[in-house]
C-alpha cells in the first residue's frame, strides 16, 4: 500500500521533532559538563543558527551540529578534540560521545532516530575550527559557559573547610 503525501509529511515532522529534542538534550548535558571545566578558555563557545544549520555549537573541545539535509531530514553531526592521555577533557569527550548515541538510541526515543547521527564527516580537531570561526566570525554568536563546581570539586572544598 502506497503512503499518502500527508502521512509522509507527518512522519517526517515527527522524526525531525524527535531528532531535535534529542539534539537539545545532548547540548544541555554537554554544556553542563563543560561548565565544570576550570579553565575559562575551554568554556568559550560559538553558536550559529539559520535555515540549513538549525543549530551549531563549537568549543575548543566539542563540536555539535543539527542540520537539515537537502531532502528535509534532520541530522546530527559531531566532533571532539582527540586526547592522547586520560584527563578531565578525555572524560568529557567520552561522556559526550556516549550521550550522543544513548540519547538517539531506539530504546530511549519514541521514534527510531538512530540514523540521524551522521558520520559522513566528523570534526576531529574542534580547537582549530573554533580558532578559524572566531577569527572570521560572520555568523556565530560568542558566549562563555559559566563555571560550576562539579560534585567532586564540591566534596574536595567541603573536606578542606
Mean pLDDT of the residues in the chain: 90
CB 118 within 8 A of CB 76: yes
pLDDT, residue 88, reads: 84
What are the extents of the domains in the chain? 5-160
Report the DSSP beta bridge partners of residue 63.
58, 79
Angle of helix 88-103 versus helix 5-34 axis, rounded to 10? 160
Is the pLDDT assigned to residue 1 strictly greater than 90?
no
Q: What is the pLDDT of residues 53-70, one digit of tens each?
A: 999 999 999 999 999 999
Q: Read off the pTM.
A: 0.88
Residue 3 confidence (pLDDT) above 70: no
Amino acid at each position: 500500500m502506497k503512503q499518502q503525501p500527508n502521512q509522509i509529511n507527518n512522519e517526517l515532522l515527527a522524526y525531525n521533532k524527535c531528532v531535535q529534542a534529542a539534539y537539545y538534550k545532548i547540548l544541555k548535558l554537554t554544556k553542563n559538563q563543560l561548565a565544570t571545566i576550570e579553565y575559562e578558555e575551554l568554556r568559550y563557545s560559538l553558536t550559529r543558527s539559520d535555515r540549513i544549520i538549525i543549530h551549531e555549537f563549537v568549543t575548543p573541545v566539542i563540536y555539535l551540529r543539527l542540520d537539515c539535509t537537502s531532502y528535509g531530514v534532520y541530522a546530527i553531526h559531531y566532533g571532539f578534540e582527540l586526547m592522547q592521555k586520560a584527563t578531565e577533557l578525555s572524560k568529557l569527550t567520552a561522556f559526550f560521545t556516549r550521550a550522543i548515541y544513548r540519547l538517539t538510541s531506539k530504546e530511549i526515543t519514541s521514534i527510531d532516530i538512530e540514523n540521524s547521527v551522521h558520520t559522513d564527516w566528523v570534526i576531529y580537531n574542534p580547537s582549530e575550527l573554533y580558532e578559524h570561526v572566531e577569527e572570521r566570525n560572520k555568523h556565530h554568536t560568542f558566549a562563555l559557559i559559566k563555571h560550576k563546581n562539579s560534585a567532586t570539586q564540591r566534596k574536595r572544598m567541603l573536606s578542606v573547610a
